[in-house]
């Protein structure tokens, strides 16, 4: 089977810009002072959302590729534990690492020698395709949350 179209569609889905905006656009123009503000009780900050996305994406990617990977404890291991002193360096590292892992996943999808519909050998019956779709779904959901947070903070320009 020629699965070029499937691989291309998966990459488009991960990059965004089709049915939802891209991660890049959701983060573009955020005022530094708004990165770590929770606009309302029980709503995360923009930093908490992107760091959560990074942690979850990293876990799914490493789980998929590395049989020795140990996932963090839920839920604490999937959210930043201390963000009281968010610096530009911490923010930039989070964003950079998120995109680095996303690029690694996209490169993985492009490996035509791998059948994406096969089960991951150590994956408890899960397929590579399932894990890729999980990342895409999770990222799209949290990109939407970032946009909503920015709107609540009056820091969003369509």
Q: Read off the CATH number of the domain in which 39 is found.
A: 1.20.120
CA atoms within 13 A on the CB side of 40: 8
For 100, the domain range is 4-152
Is 93 a member of any domain? yes
Is 158 a member of any domain? no
Is 135 a member of any domain? yes
The pLDDT of residue 107 is 98
Q: Tell me how far apart the alpha carbons of residues 74 and 65 are, in angstroms, rounded to a whole number.
A: 20
Is 157 a member of any domain? no
| Ranges of the chain with pLDDT below 70 | 1
Query: Under a CB-based contact definition with an 8 Å cutoff, are residues 83 and 47 in contact?
Result: yes
The pLDDT of residue 17 is 87
Hey, what are 92's tokens? 């930039």
Query: Under a CB-based contact definition with an 8 Å cutoff, are residues 94 and 50 in contact?
Result: yes
The pLDDT of residue 77 is 96
Of the candidates 133, 61, 145, the one whose C-alpha atom is nearest the C-alpha of residue 103 is 61
Entry pTM: 0.96
Structure letter (DSSP) for residue 34:
G
The pLDDT of residue 157 is 86
Query: 3-class SS at 127?
Result: strand
Query: Under a CB-based contact definition with an 8 Å cutoff, are residues 138 and 16 in contact?
Result: no
The pLDDT of residue 98 is 98
Is 55 a member of any domain? yes
Hey, what are 35's tokens? 């990165």
- H-state helical runs in the chain: 4-15, 23-27, 46-65, 88-109, 128-152
Asked if the peptide bond before residue 75 counts as cis, ω within 30 degrees of 0, the response is: yes
Tally of structural domains, the chain: 1
């Amino acid at each position: 089977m020629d699965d070029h179209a499937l691989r291309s569609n998966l990459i488009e889905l991960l990059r965004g810009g089709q049915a939802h905006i891209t991660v890049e656009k959701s983060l573009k123009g955020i005022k530094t002072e708004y990165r770590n503000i929770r606009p309302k009780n029980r709503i995360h900050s923009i930093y908490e959302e992107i760091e959560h996305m990074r942690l979850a994406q990293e876990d799914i990617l490493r789980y998929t590729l590395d049989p020795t990977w140990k996932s963090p404890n839920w839920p604490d291991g999937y959210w930043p534990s201390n963000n009281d002193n968010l610096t530009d360096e911490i923010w930039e590292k989070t964003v950079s690492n998120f995109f680095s892992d996303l690029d690694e996943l996209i490169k993985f999808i492009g490996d035509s020698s791998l059948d994406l519909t096969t089960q991951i050998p150590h994956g408890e019956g899960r397929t590579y395709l399932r894990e890729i779709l999980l990342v895409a779904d999770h990222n799209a959901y949290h990109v939407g949350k970032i946009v909503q947070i920015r709107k609540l903070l009056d820091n969003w320009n369509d």
